[in-house]
Amino acid sequence: MPNAKTNPRRRVIEIKPIVDPDAKVYPRSINGYFQRWRWAFIWLTQLVFYGLCWLPWNGRQAVLFDLDTRRFYLFDLVLWPQDAIYLAILLALSALALFLFTAVAGRLWCGYTCPQTVYTEMFLWLEKLVEGERPKRMKLDAAPWSVHKLAVKTAKHTLWIALALWTGLTFVGYFTPIRDLTHGIVELSLGPWEVFWVLFYGAATYGNAGFMREHMCKYICPYAQFQFVMFDRDTLNITYDRQRGEPRGPRRKIADPRAEGLGDCVDCSICVQVCPTGIDIRNGLQLECIGCAACIDACDQVMDKMEYPRGLIRYSTENAVDESLSRSEIIRRAARPRTLLYLAVFLAVSTATAWSLLNRVPLKVSVIRDRAVLSREAPDGSIENVFSLQLTNASEQARTYRVHVAGLPGLRLEKAHEIEAPPAGLGKAVLVLKVDPEAASAGAHPIQITVEDIADASVRKTEKASFWMP
Ligand code: SF4
Ligand code: SF4
């Protein structure tokens, strides 16, 4: 029978009851090493999110998923719906990266970059700015309604709504050019769908970051529910060192805890007060822990004041705690078969995708046979097959293409074709192909239709087709 030691997941998913899981959480502010990292990630991700849609590139928006024209612009890259494979690969790579980071270091994504925690942190920052620190916020919520309370709450919600609407506008700005959107707002000329989506995403941000907060992580996010499958005994997690901390209890700073039969935990509860999900990490790793490391910073400050070594709560692994592993041994165990496999697959897929994108020919060719007539005899006695040709110029320069045909002796075009296609646009032509009647037997014969840019022979594509002989 597996026990807690041989079956690591059993220990990980054990959930200790907390006092009231639905009580409103008032996280106390905390500064420290990990909180600086969290804010660095918040600044980085939000500068990219709010700023990238304003970046001009080749006379248009650098990143734009233009649903109207069904073209996706990523800097120099122009992707069409036929390139949806790259989107699928991007999603697969994101999933692989998530598996890899989760297996190595637990809920890094949740704690540092997940939009839910990032926006919650930003909304919380505004809340503290207007309502004050934790005791003031608790007092204000408990107080009866008054002019002062109404004014403070109005100020907070005004700031929240402004940030939420800006977020909604920015999000929609990746699908409709952001400058058109803002002009539309100034001139009150936005279409109903644009208004709807800006309000929809604004309301989602306001609701999730202002009210749902940790409930989203606890009850709705599917990743929170299945991430433990990726954990093992060598996964880094926020861990309370029970052996060192217990028995917990208050004491004077000058007291010798061992002489008083105490561990290093002074039972100050600051690690609980700073927790954005309102849990007590001393009860063991719990589903509700989003890995924000606020409790590490909080406890380290308490340890500093008590002049005890830092790290009573720290990033560690179950094996490290049980076997007292050194930091270098913990790092060495990060490279284990499961993580190496994730890394190898991630590197292989990303390298192949990068190679494919770098060598991508910015031309797509579609050849469709004329459905009305398979083949016919022309007045000059030759046999004709008719095809519709559609070109997609996936670059941002206007191009002119020439068509060549091959595959049968004497196969030729009725007339030479030079097909023009505008930047990121389409070119069309009807091709009439001819051969002499004695060139091939009756039936279908494979042929090749090649389209080549007149100015750049490296931009060429060959499509296969069949030529029917009567
Ligand atoms: S237990 Fe610690 S790491 Fe987990 S959510 Fe609470 S404060 Fe963040
Ligand atoms: S902050 Fe540290 S010392 Fe204070 S209760 Fe939490 S674990 Fe114990």
Which residue owns the Cα nearest ligand 1 atom 6?
275
Closest C-alpha to ligand 2, atom 1: 299
pLDDT of residue 8: 41
pLDDT > 60? residue 10:
no
In CATH, which superfamily holds the domain spanning 363-469?
Answer: Immunoglobulins (2.60.40.10)
Specify the residue with its C-alpha closest to ligand 1, atom 5.
289
Q: Cβ(246)–Cβ(316) under 8 Å?
A: no
Work out the percent of the chain whose per-residue pLDDT is above 70.
Answer: 95
What are the structural domain ranges in the chain? Answer: 8-88+96-229, 237-339, 363-469
For residue 301, the ligand closest to its alpha carbon is 2
Residue of 109, 120, 277, 296 best suited for mutating to test ligand 1, as the one with most atoms within 8 Å of CB = 277
pLDDT at res. 276: 93
What digits encode the pLDDT tens for the residues 207-227?
Answer: 999 999 988 988 888 888 778
CA–centroid distance, 335 to ligand 1, in Å, is: 26
pLDDT for 20 equals: 62
CB under 8 A, 24+ apart: contacts of 20-27: 21/218, 21/278, 21/288, 22/215, 23/278, 24/141, 25/213, 25/214, 25/275, 25/276, 25/277, 25/278, 26/134, 26/137, 26/138, 27/124, 27/134, 27/273, 27/274, 27/275, 27/276, 27/278, 27/294
Ligand nearest to the CA of 312: 2
Mean pLDDT over 50-75 rounds to 92
What pLDDT sits at residue 2?
Answer: 37
- 8 A C-beta contact, residue 361 and residue 403: no
C-alpha count within 13 angstroms, C-beta hemisphere, residue 95: 8
Q: How far is the CA of 239 from the centre of ligand 2 (A)?
A: 12
Ligand 2: distance of its center to the CA of 293 in Å?
A: 13
- Tell me, in angstroms, the distance from the centre of ligand 1 to residue 309's CA: 20
Distance 431 CA to ligand 2 centre (A): 79
Q: What pLDDT, on the 0 to 100 scale, is given for residue 299?
A: 98
Q: 228: CA distance to ligand 2 center in Å?
A: 25
Question: Which pLDDT value is given to residue 21?
Answer: 63
Query: Of the bound ligands, which one is closest to the alpha carbon of residue 269?
Result: 2
Lowest mean pLDDT among 219-228, 300-309, 459-468: 219-228
Which ligand sits closest to the CA of 282?
2
pLDDT tens digits for 35-54? Answer: 999 999 999 999 999 999 99
Q: Give the pLDDT mean for 227-243.
A: 89
Query: Per-residue pLDDT tens for 123-166?
Result: 999 999 999 999 999 999 999 999 999 999 999 999 999 999 99
Range with lowest mean pLDDT among 6-20, 91-105, 168-182? 6-20
Which amino acid belongs to residue 94?
S
